Structure 1
Amino acid sequence: MTQQFILPHGGKLQNLMVSAEQAQVLRQAAVDLPSIDLTHRQECDLELLLSGAFSPLTGFMDQKTYDNVLDTLRLSDGTVWPVP
């Protein structure tokens, strides 16, 4: 018997985590970049993005996408997205 999984929302699981090696390279590249403080809510959203729980999103929404979700509850590609 083969095991079948339910497809993630949007059809593809977006896993944005990087390997330990990639993380080290990114840390070194980010040394001179400005830092920002995130609210608890923003931290939670970032964790959900990185783990794929917000698939099919691959990052925070831009203003146009956000406005579209508020108006239509859909992403720009037509995927239903009820969480602005």
Structure 2
Amino acid sequence: MKDKMLGQDKDFLIKLAHSKMPFGKYEGRDLIDLPEYYVVWYHNKGFPKGQLGDMLKMVYELKVNGLEDLIRNIKKRYPK
């Protein structure tokens, strides 16, 4: 079971590394490159439902902890 979870996390992070904001002022921008204030605003307002919300929650945690480069490195290591 642990290996399956690890695989799902890896797939999620790879998808996150290639995901772009689908709407709004920052439409088309990589999620990891959204301005921190914007992600914090979502954190305070409430994240959208579904996978986009899950990804934005992860982006929030990464930005708060200064770990954005992890996602940028994943994007380089696992190109589309």
Which TM-score applies when normalising by structure 1? 0.25
**Looking at CA atoms only, which structure, 1 or 2, has the larger radius of gyration?**
1
Structure 1 or 2: more helix by fraction: 2
